[in-house]
Structure 1
Amino acid sequence: MKAKIVYASMTGNDEDMAEMLEEDLQDYGFEVDSSDVSFTDATDYLDADLCIMITYTYGEGKMTDETADFYAQLKELDLNGKYFAVMGSGDKTYGEHFCENVFDFEKAFKQCGATEIVPAVTIENAPDDDDIDQIDTAAEEMNDKLNA
Structure 2
Amino acid sequence: MKKAVIYASTTGNTEAMANAVAEGVKSCGAELLMSTASDANVSDVLACDVIILGSPAMGDEVLEDSMEEFYTNLEGGLSGKKVAVFGSYDWGDGQWLRTWVERLSASGATVVNGEGLKVQLAPDEAALAECKSLGETA
TM-score of the superposition, structure 2-length normalised? Answer: 0.87
| 8 Å Cα contact 2:56-2:64 kept in structure 1 | no
Matches within 5 A, 1:64-79: 64-79=64-79
Higher relative contact order (CA 8 A, sep 6+): 2
Q: CA deviation at 1:102?
A: 2.4
The structure with more helix, counted as a fraction of residues: 1
Identity of aligned residues (%): 28
Q: In structure 1, the residue corresponding to 2:76 is in which secondary structure?
A: coil
5+ residue gaps in structure 1?
Answer: 143-148
Letter in 1 for 2:16: D
Matches within 5 A, 1:1-148: 1-80=1-80, 82-92=81-91, 95=92, 98-119=93-114, 120-142=116-138
**Alpha-carbon distance in structure 1 between the residues aligned to 2:126 and 2:101:** 22
**Alpha-carbon distance in structure 2 between the residues aligned to 1:138 and 1:118:** 8
**Alpha-carbon distance in structure 1 between the residues aligned to 2:94 and 2:8:** 13
Q: In structure 1, the residue corresponding to 2:77 is in which secondary structure?
A: coil
**Alpha-carbon distance in structure 1 between the residues aligned to 2:45 and 2:87:** 18
Q: CA deviation at 1:29?
A: 0.5
Aligned residue pair count: 137
CA, structure 1 residues 47+35, in 2 after alignment: closer, same or farther (shift >3 Å)? Answer: same
| 8 Å Cα contact 2:25-2:132 kept in structure 1 | no
5+ residue gaps in structure 2?
Answer: none
